[in-house]
Structure 1
């Protein structure tokens, strides 16, 4: 291998030696200039980063909107936590989408609750899925109704189960129907009883049958009588046996007679199926027993 490298380098040298000396010198100079430029750029970047990191909170607060606009996207990650804390409303609303997407996990987690509320809708939709997941769960309640409503469907599905648990009842009610329809089974199962009860009729009816089936039995028990009434025929038919068994007396009273009859039949049919299966299994076991 070493012989191959030596051979190729010798070949390059021999090729260069065939060129006029002036050409050789020019090529050497070009390589030197490229190297020096690269080193100079590295030094400038390091100097800029150090300069930004040394800015005090007072100096950060003094940055004008023009200064904010001049910050290159690649320079955004250089700001440290105490500096992020210092950004004012006027400064935060100035950041463009190219700058927004460069905020790191540590920076996002450094935002104060009030700072999160300062972001404009067009800035909120710029956050990537990774950035959405970077927010601390306790930061989630800071999102305003308008901010929640502008969240893209991709951003909605990005929220972790822990983050979902922190949405307030008012925030839950602000979800658009299309946002409700993209909630994943794991996200649905993360909802707490008070969050489930916060869902309004049209949100309940927007849930797909497979989403209804994702609810755990104890979550079904949390539904109010009004929410049970709001369920569509398709949604009621989608309910599983375990979910039906979790119905409370108040929930059952909210059902129509024909619906109770339908659920009773469904339960009886399932019980009969289980009994037949158990009987068949028992008979099979008896047949397989060795004769004495």
Structure 2
């Protein structure tokens, strides 16, 4: 494709001012490219601002739990190609036991703790944004990631996935480390309950949550036999914002549990 230093470029999907492409870089690696579509930028200035913020974030992150950045240029960002995500029905059965969920949550919480220590809030953690490099879960898509008080477009939009968003975000609050923790623990609850599919449209979920004022979409009626420490972590994580553990505290709690 003109203007990109890649071969075998294939369109995966397009949304607003952004295209997602698969390609091969000059060293022969398969990569995923996020690209600004120039003719679509004018009607979507917020999308352009989000993209530039995402590029800046990726240039500062170096952690095994974050998708690797292989380069960027004027209007594009190249990331590693990862294996299928947690939203894939083929992968989910591997996370029905407490031990597997504990390991997954520990690895993801470790990554979130790294992000939060650097002032980055993912703001859209969900199964589709958790992919894998071998057995390692990797967080992808920092398209609406926030930078806290340093964020140049903080509060300019309502963005996220209603099924996984914390109650304070549904109510119009700004993303915070605690809202990432809520999404993480909601995912843990979902896995332990068999990871049921949800065909409900995002707009319908949002309308229902606004109407009901539910604290969380997470189903907290966990199956019998769940590790008690895991259950306590999940209950606190989907609870009131001021009572949620931090990501770093979740790592410590799980490490103590698995060590014992």
Work out whether the TM-score is over 0.5. no
Identify which of structures 1 and 2 has the higher relative contact order when contacts are C-alpha pairs closer than 8 Å and 6+ apart. Answer: 2
Shorter-chain TM-score: what band? Answer: under 0.3
TM-score normalised according to structure 2 size: 0.25
Q: TM-score, normalised by structure 1?
A: 0.23
**Structure with the larger helix share:** 1
